[in-house]
Amino acid sequence: MDKVTAAKVFIDVAHSGSFTATAERLEMSRPMVTRYIEALEDWLQVRLLHRTTRKISLTSKGAQCLPEIEKWISQADELISITGSKDKLTGTIRLATSTSFGFAKLSGALASFLKHHPLISIDVDLQDGTSDLVERQLDLAIRITANPDPSLVGKPIGVCESILVASEAYIKSSSMIKEPADLSRHQCLGYKQFDQHTWYLNNGAEQKAVNIECRFTANETTNLLHATLHGAGVALLPTYLTESYIQSGELKHILPLWKPHDLQIYALYSSRKHLRPAVRQLIDYLESYLNA
């Protein structure tokens, strides 16, 4: 049996703690996973895993071998990425991102990437909460945040700008907004996960922190967008969602001299040590796409 594949199966099982999860992730049968593990143990002449009906865990020798095997696979993948043709990248990449970013920006980038790599498949998990990448068998998460999950490796691949917007109908029915302090007297829309809503705005060197009252909250940006379009109030939304509506006149840019803080777009993954060439190539592609 192929030693490289056996090593990759072992690494996956070591992190997932489940033969079944590894079988699903690597798209092979559970008995095949077992055979690869047994073959690797035979080659190394050591027992790598404790197997019970309830739990899979590393033996002491398995824990010692794991970093060395990961290093070996990383070197093998680097060699392949240097000498191999990028058009021959294969496999399925499982990726998580937010609903709004997935629809507005990522779908086009992924479609373009697939045209360049016909042997790659991509499975997208649209959800706005954080994910345990290993438990959910995900290769990669694309997140817009100021504070990426410290348990994951995070690579900044772009910048997300935001603006304050409201519909023409809301603007006509409400008092004028001339400065940031006026926002505290308006209906505003906010993210559900925050108990207290504060918008931080900059005008050159001048900074303002405005506490707002939110009668409408949601945990997903697209929902806030459509509520804003229906006249629910003022919202702080990313430009990738609002650009077309501002161009059409359905939304108006509020306080254009005052800029909310930019957020970084991160590619998040569990480990540098055994990042597959296809995933590495996708990260690089998304960085170029988002900064074009």
Q: What is the pLDDT of residue 153?
A: 87
Domain coordinates in residue numbering, the chain: 3-83, 87-158+264-290, 162-261
State the pLDDT confidence band at 276, using cuts at 50, 70 and 90. confident
Residues 28, 34 contacting (CB under 8 angstroms) = no
State the pLDDT confidence band at 192, using cuts at 50, 70 and 90. confident
CA–CA distance, 292 with 196 (Å, rounded to integer): 36
* 16-67 confidence digits (pLDDT tens): 888 888 888 787 888 999 999 999 999 999 999 998 777 889 999 999 999 9
- The pTM (predicted TM-score) of the whole model is 0.70
Q: What is the pLDDT of residue 27?
A: 78
* 84-134 confidence digits (pLDDT tens): 555 578 888 999 999 999 999 999 999 999 998 988 999 999 876 656 676
CA–CA distance, 166 with 232 (Å, rounded to integer): 8
Torsion on CA atoms 97, 99, 101, 106, rounded to nearest 10: 70
Kindly report the backbone phi and psi dihedral angles of residue 151, in degrees, each rounded to the nearest multiple of 5, phi listed first: -80, -5
**How large is the average pLDDT for residues 149-167?**
92
State the pLDDT confidence band at 80, using cuts at 50, 70 and 90. low
Q: Is domain 87-158+264-290 classified as CATH 1.10.940.10?
A: no
Q: Is domain 3-83 classified as CATH 1.10.10.10?
A: yes
CA–CA distance, 113 with 99 (Å, rounded to integer): 19
Q: What is the pLDDT of residue 225?
A: 96
How far CA 39 is from CA of 76, 127, 203, in Å, comes to 19, 38, 64
Top CATH class of 162-261 equals alpha beta
The label of the residue with tokens 């191999």 reads 84
Q: Evaluate whether 87-158+264-290 and 162-261 have a shared fold.
A: yes
**Helices 107-116 and 277-290: crossing angle, nearest 10°?**
130
Q: What is the pLDDT of residue 273?
A: 63
Across the chain, mean pLDDT equals 88
State the pLDDT confidence band at 194, using cuts at 50, 70 and 90. low
Tokens of 286: 């998304």
Order across the sheet with 259-260: list the strands. Answer: 206-212, 197-203, 259-260
Q: What is the pLDDT of residue 274?
A: 65
How far CA 28 is from CA of 20, 55, 90, in Å, comes to 10, 20, 15
The label of the residue with tokens 């010692």 reads 64
- Asked which of 66-80, 174-188, 230-244 is least confident by mean pLDDT, the reply is 66-80
Residues 264, 144 contacting (CB under 8 angstroms) = yes
State the pLDDT confidence band at 193, using cuts at 50, 70 and 90. low
**How large is the average pLDDT for residues 162-178?**
94
